[in-house]
Amino acid sequence: MTLLATRAQKVAVVGACLALAVTACGGSGKSKSSTKGPTGKKGGTLYLINDADFEHIDPQRTYVSNALNFTERFMNRTLVTYKSVPGPSGSELVPDMATDLGKASDNNQTWSFTFKDGLKFQDGTPVTCDDFKYGTSRGFSDVITDGPTYAYSYLKIDLAPDGTPVYKGPYKPGPNGGFDSAVQCTDPKHIVFHLARPIGDFNYTLSLPEFAAVPKAKDTKDKYDNNVVSNGPYKIETYNRSKNLTLVRNTNWDPKTDTVRKAFPDKVVVEMGADPAVIDTQFISDTGDAKTGIQNSTNVQPQNLNRVLTDPNLRKRAVNGFDGFTLYIAINTKKVTNPKVREAINTAVNLETYRGAYGGKEYGDYATSFISPALKSHKSFDVFGTKKNPNGDPAKAASLLKEAGVTTPYPLKFDVRNRPATAKAAAAIKEALERNGNFKVTLNIIPADQYYSSIGKKATQGDMSGAGWGPDWPNGSSVVPPLFASSLAAVEGSSNYSQLADPAIQSKIDAANKETDLTKQAKLWGDIDEDIVKDGAAVPTLWTKTTQMFGSGVKGAFLHSFYGEIDLNALSVA
């Protein structure tokens, strides 16, 4: 679960994105899906066999992909959400509680939404604008931790001199800090968001449950994680933390208001605490609850991949595809200042042995860019000839180092997350770079749970650091700026692990942010992506794939391109 942890890790990072502006036109989400909608029968119990409890299901605190999938599909509806279809179309937005994808005005700084009729919480009270506003306000509180922080990086609110919002959430008396005027309820059926600057794809941001409705009367602050009030098709029956969670039908959910959720099973049970390898075994043998269950928090482990993907009987019970993440090796441009040396590193890496360490072809495709091909902003280019020769070219790297005029072997300290496959992949990079006496690589192995905070310390970061990134919404604006914006280069804990502060790149990022035509903007992100690869500020390595299994009694399972896992929406077990 390296990748999920990576996504959770971004929590610390997003708050730093205050300086980033995204300007584009609203109203994306063209319908071009050719895939038939899922069909199924009502009834039965669906099991989610997980290795651990969700960290959070409180909507304002949910940020890990399997929890996002769970809470968005089952309990917390948002204004807009992602389509429930296989393939890249899954990344397209559709209206959920709102009647459309929002109306942007005032140069994309004002976004207004109208609610559908008949929206209710599980206790029968109607969902109103005030509930959305209250839910959004919770994210400002310091007891509501670990969630995304787009509310305060995007909304037009007052900021204290240190850059934090003046408003401290609904639990503390004190100044409102402009929150009331930033999120306005003109009447119970409408909500208006005023943004600090033009954000052309703000409706993508609103798909996060950070902006979901919470009824003020039922809010239990940090205990709300255990008592989420549902407005989706299911509600909590029992929740024993770290043991199991049972959902039953929410009779106050009206399917006529919901074009996305199918809600076939009568009951959903989440079982927690089994070892990932044991979960694999349960699904491979197709016994017990796994028979009508799916893998949710874990993927098929590398050692079982071959068996699952080559045995036809297992393959038909598995989904496999891109999960939207790009693995890369950031090169610290503050330490490795010579672009020729960075080019030499890019030229010398051997992605074949690197990918082998993760489990080979089934783990992912060789990456040539940071924006994954699942995104519209992806541009196809291959600066270092990776596709043709994934083994690297040590002779060419040697001549590049000669041109750079540095003494060889050039010493490099490589930060590595201590996980078995990651460490082996790092050893593969070490071997590849040390060919021809080009480099001398020292592996700096860092405990997994301290890794990202450790490489986020800008002064002590090594010369190279392995990392992975998955966008929060499917646009280049959620990939390029967080990883390479100059404004983040010196910010402690920021995700600009290359510490890249290149004025030329930054001016191009600014230009892309200003572009109002989403199609043109997408092209600009692709161009910047290519510029960064040419600069050698980081080595894109793999676009990763994921494999999950489901039981023989489950119908309608497919890999959702945004969540990067089995979409919980359309499963049926009857």
Point out which residues bind other proteins (CB under 8 A). 277, 301-307, 309-310, 350, 352-353, 355-362, 416, 418, 420-421, 423-424, 426-428, 430-431, 442-448, 450, 454
- Nearest distance in Å: CB 564, other proteins: 20
- Decide whether 287 or 310 has the Cβ nearer to other proteins: 310
E strands, 393-537, where?
410-418, 439-447, 464-469
- Decide whether 450 or 552 has the Cβ nearer to other proteins: 450
Element (H, E) at 183: strand 183-187
CB distance 371 to 526 below 8 Å: yes
- Decide whether 301 or 487 has the Cβ nearer to other proteins: 301
Question: Which neighbouring-strand residues pair with 544?
Answer: 364
Amino acid occupying residue 329? I
Give the C-alpha separation, 300 to 277, whole Å: 8
CA proximity to 574, closest of 559, 554, 545, 547: 554
Question: Which neighbouring-strand residues pair with 465?
Answer: 330, 415
- Decide whether 118 or 447 has the Cβ nearer to other proteins: 447
- The dihedrals phi and psi of 198, each to the nearest 5 degrees, come to -65, 125
- Nearest distance in Å: CB 462, other proteins: 11
- Nearest distance in Å: CB 319, other proteins: 17
Give the C-alpha separation, 209 to 523, whole Å: 29
Q: How many Cβ atoms are within 10 Å of 191's Cβ, its own excluded?
A: 29
- Decide whether 83 or 355 has the Cβ nearer to other proteins: 355
CB distance 155 to 193 below 8 Å: yes
- Nearest distance in Å: CB 350, other proteins: 8
- Decide whether 221 or 419 has the Cβ nearer to other proteins: 419
Question: Which neighbouring-strand residues pair with 45?
Answer: 267
- The dihedrals phi and psi of 55, each to the nearest 5 degrees, come to -65, -45
- Nearest distance in Å: CB 397, other proteins: 17
Strand order in the sheet with 464-469: 364-366, 538-549, 318-331, 464-469, 410-418, 439-447
Element (H, E) at 538: strand 538-549
CA proximity to 133, closest of 201, 56, 63, 213: 213
- Nearest distance in Å: CB 312, other proteins: 14
Distances (CA, A) of 308 to 277, 312, 319, 554, 559: 13, 8, 10, 17, 16
- Nearest distance in Å: CB 458, other proteins: 16
- Decide whether 23 or 332 has the Cβ nearer to other proteins: 332
Task: At 489, list the tokens.
Answer: 């280069």
- Decide whether 143 or 448 has the Cβ nearer to other proteins: 448
- Nearest distance in Å: CB 6, other proteins: 18
- Decide whether 406 or 423 has the Cβ nearer to other proteins: 423
CA proximity to 199, closest of 137, 110, 80, 136: 110
- Nearest distance in Å: CB 357, other proteins: 5
